[in-house]
Every structure is written in C-alpha cells, then in structure tokens.
Chain A
Amino acid sequence: MGIQIKNIFYTYQKKATNATLALNDVSFEIKDNDFIAIVGETGSGKSTLAQTFNALIIPDQGEVVVGDYVVNYKNRKSRKLRGIRQRIGLVFQFPEYQLFEETVEKDVAFGVKNFGVKNEEALERAHEALNKVGLDESYYKRAPFDLSGGEKRKVAIAGILAINPDIIIFDEPTAGFDPQSSKDLMKLICEFHEQGKTIIVITHDMDLVNTYAQRVVLLEMGQLAFDGTPAELFSFIKGYDRLDIPTVIKVANALKEKGMDIDVNQIRGIDDLLAAIKKWRNKA
C-alpha cells in the first residue's frame, strides 16, 4: 500500500503569536514496498509529517490518501480514521515508554485487541510478532519493566508489528543504541521490508540512510527540499553545515579525487568501499 501526500499544510498553536508553520505545501508519493528515509534538521517537520500519515495530526489544508482512507480537515472527526492505524503502524522515538501491561505478551497483544481481535488469537499474534523481533518464549510472561532498554524497544516494535500493518513508520529507531544493536534493529527492519511491507524511517543518521534507504526525502523548514536516491542526496547536501555526508562517502570521494577508479554511487557501506578498493588493487 502506498501513500499520496497532496499539498499539506500544518501550523502548531494556530492562535498564539509564535505560531509556527510546521508543514508548508508538502506533496510527494510513497509507493508500495518502498524503503524511504525522511531526513532533515531538528524542527524541520519530519515527525509532524509522519504523524499526518496515520491521522494523529490532521493537516490544515491538503490531504493524505492511504488506500481507501482520506485524511483531511473535513473528515477529521470521522471514526473511520481509526482504521487507518491498523494499516499504518507508527513506532515513536523511544517507544519503550509506552509499555504498561503486566507481561510482555499482554502488552504486545494490547494493540491487536484494540482492533477487535479476540483474546486467544491476539495472544497468538503477539507470540508470532515477538518471535519475529527475536524474543523467544522465555520472555512472554516477563514484566516489560524488568527488561533491558533494547529488549523493551523490541517489545514495543513487536506491539506495532502484531497489528500487522502494511506500512510501518519508524521515528528515530536507533536513537540511543550502541552500533551493534542499531545494526541488528536495522536488519530486522530490512526483513520487514523483504516481507513486502512499506518502510518509512525518520532519521538523522546519514550512514543509516546510505546503507538502507532506496529513496530519501529531505525536509527543510517544513518544505520538501529534495526527493531522490541517497547518492543524489549526498551530492545535493555538499554545501550544508548541519547535514553531514557519511564518512564512507567522504572517503570514497577523496579517493576518487586522488585518481582511484571508484563508482561512489555504488558505495552503500564500509564493506562496499573495502570491496571497491580491493578490486582497484587487483586491477593495478
């Protein structure tokens, strides 16, 4: 399932004197089974944009179309809009703070039950989701508050996964994680993508964008500044101070300048760079 974003505007604190235009005429399309990254500085409107996708924020003007659902100001109070959250799952930043049930399995099943699935089936789906994120049977009956930070986040992600949405949005999924945990989590997200789900990742981490995203959208002061592949983005943001080009790309660019025969657009991570250098050496 895809999302069409058509000319949306959103303002925070409309009546106040310090009203800020968070989204200013944003429109683009997200295709089915896309892996898209939304990047931008703090306060550029990334999270606001993501929240319009599942109707947590209703745009003041314009509309977001997801399958049969139309999110716009006119039908903002419609009960039907709740159904959109069954199709689009949003994993917030630090999702571990939303856990509240006594056991892990109950917490994961909570979301499923909210959408009208009976208790046993909900638990079954919860177990399935927990296995997918790599938490086995021994975790089912444990209290979520006793788990480590990484495990809590996995439980929270399982809570969204169990609802079985077609599109999953991750807001800064790796924030506060060590490199290995980040890698594991991103691998997991890639697996969801391979299973046919559309993935939207909001992030600051350009390495992550480079390695995983098929497409990147750059927001700037609530406006769409760029839409294209990661490689195109990195040549686009060369003059920016606040957005950093990944180190691997910088190294690859430097090597190319020194005369090494390297296709920078193909470098998606450190392994690609190493392979390219090896290839060049073998040739020489």
Chain B
Amino acid sequence: MSTMTFGRYSFRDTFVHRLDARNKIFLTLLFMVGIFFQFNKWSTSLILSGIYIVVLLILMLISRVSLIALLKSLGGLWVLVIFLMAIYIFIPTNNPKLPVAFTIGTLEVHWDAICQSGYIIMRLVLMISLTMILTSTTKPMDMTYAFEWYMTPLKPIHFPVHEIAMTLSIALRFIPTLLDETERIMKAQASRGVDFNHGGIFKRFGAIIALIIPLFVSALERSEELANAMIVRGYDPKAKRTRYRLLKFSWRDLIAFLFIGLMFAGIIVLFVFDRTGEPIDIINFFFKVKGF
C-alpha cells in the first residue's frame, strides 16, 4: 500500500508550498487553459510547447517535485497513448501539409496525423504534471478550503457548499485509514487461503469480493460512528464556523500571479494575431530567419 506515492502531499518548505491554495488552483487552471489553445501556425505551437516545458521544469525544480517519480507514474499512460495514436492515424487528415508517412490499404497516413497525436499527448503529459505539482504541494485540507471558497457565490441559491467541502475533507482524511483497513482485511483473508497474487481471472475476482465486502461494511460502520461523534459534539452544517487555518494572499502569491498572468496574456495576444489575417511567425519575428 505504501507504493501509492504519486501526487501525494509531501511537506517541504518551498515557494510553491507556501502559495495560497486558492491562488494555486486558479493559476494551475489558467496554465492548463493556456496549454490547450490551438494555433494555426505550427511554429508558434512548437515554440510555446518549448516554453511550457521549460516553465514546468522550473516549477518542478522550485517545488522539489521529483521528475523521476513523475515519469514513473506516467508509465501507466501508454494505453491512452496508443488509443490516441490510433484515433489520429485512422481518421483521415484534412488538407495535409506534410508528405505521406505510410499507407494501410487505401488509407494514406500523413506525417500531420502523427505530429498531431504527439502534440496532444505532450499536452496531456503537461496537464498531468501540473496537477501533480498542485497536489503534492498543497495540503488536502487547504485544497478543500479553497474549493469551499470558490463555491461561496453559490450559497445564496442554497447550494450545500459547506456540506460538500466537509464531505470532501472527510473523504480525504479517511483514505489512509481505509488503506490500512484494506491491508488488514487482505491479510485476514490470506490466512483463510485467499491468494491475491496468483490464479486466473475468476479466482482473483472471488478474492476481490472477499476484500470489498468487509471493507464496505467497516467503512459504513465507521461513517455511522463518525456521524454520531459529530452530532454529539454539536456539529451543525448551517451554523457559522471559524477556522483554525486561514488562507492568506501574500506577496509570493502576487509574484506567482503576475508571472502566470503575463504568460497567459502573451498566449492570448499570440492567439488573437494567429486567428486574424496575418499570423505572427515567432521564429521570424525574433530571429529573422528567412524562409523558415
């Protein structure tokens, strides 16, 4: 059970760790939106991708998130990669600009398709890395507070903002407890001869049932106990509550906000130029390389 370390919060005292959770969530979203802008000019996309990767690497360096851990966790992504590749390759490209890479029967596969799928996969990887940085630098509790803060405008229409946030934080709190419980039950069933590691699909399915049912039963019992304990201590979701931990917007947040904000503004400007008549060819714009 101790192998599930990917994206888990780890305490370090860095610039990124100290940022306000609300700000961090907002900036992560902003960055992601930026990543998913589609440009007509391929050279723009290429340059921007390079910038994203560099920014991401710097972010990882500052927040001391291990690149190796990230690459390891991406290993599980290959099914998605093959799926995306297949979709792009088997769907014919409109007005291809690049030569044919290979043909399957009557279907001509252009280099465009392969480049497109590579581009999509790269953006996906960037997204996942960003999320990982967010989750491994923000305390889960701060995250739920931030979500609660973002949902406050919904309160007047009787949307159960506080209840949802409380549910979220309880769920997060019980993940390690339930993992321990899982391990306990697995061992207990292994003592009764269940083999979780060997055997065919039916045997394994049976083994999983012997794990899941007791786990659900104990989780339900636990939740009932917790609900009782909360009621006994006078918990009322409608009551006004004070906080032990306060989220604060500091100078660090301002710096991070300005940096990501400027980057996003730059992307928007490029996007507008890209869509209207004369797109800026950044490579020529900066380096004056003729005929590139």
Write the residues of chain A forming the contact surface with B, with a CB cutoff of 8 angstroms: 13, 16, 51, 54, 56, 79, 82, 85-86, 89-92, 95, 97-100, 110-111, 114-115, 145, 159-160, 163
Contact = CB atoms under 8 A, between A and B. Distances in A.
B194 interface: yes
B193 A98 contact: no
B217 A97 contact: yes
A95 B188 contact: yes
Contacts of A92: 184, 187-188, 191
B185 A115 contact: no
Interface residues of B, number: 19
B92 interface: no
B214 A160 contact: no
Contacts of A160: 191-192
B64 to A, nearest CB: 15
B187 A85 contact: no
26 contacts: A16-B2, A56-B187, A56-B190, A79-B198, A85-B190, A85-B192, A89-B191, A91-B191, A92-B184, A92-B188, A97-B184, A97-B214, A98-B185, A98-B189, A98-B192, A98-B214, A100-B209, A100-B213, A100-B217, A110-B210, A111-B192, A111-B193, A114-B194, A114-B195, A115-B193, A145-B217
B187 A51 contact: yes
Interface string B205-224: 00001100110011000000
Q: Tell me the interface secondary structure of chain B in the complex.
A: helix
Given A54-B191, A85-B193, A92-B184, 8 more contacts: A16-B2, A85-B191, A98-B188, A110-B192, A114-B194, A159-B192, A163-B192, A163-B193
B193 A56 contact: no
A99 B214 contact: yes
Nearest to A91: B191
A92 B185 CA distance: 9
Nearest to B213: A100
A114 B192 contact: yes
B166 to A, nearest CB: 26
Contacts of A115: 193
A115 B203 CA distance: 12
A100 B193 contact: no
B143 to A, nearest CB: 24
A250 B34 CA distance: 76
A248 B93 CA distance: 89
Interface in B142-176: none
B188 A97 contact: yes
A85 B186 CA distance: 14
Nearest to A93: B184
B128 to A, nearest CB: 24
A16 B3 CA distance: 12
Nearest to A83: B193
A59 to B, nearest CB: 16
A95 B184 CA distance: 10
Contacts of B193: 82, 85-86, 111, 114-115, 163
A139 to B, nearest CB: 19
A86 B195 CA distance: 12
Contacts of B194: 114
A97 B185 contact: yes
Instruction: Output the residue of B188, B189, B191, B198 with the most chain A CB within 10 A.
Output: B191
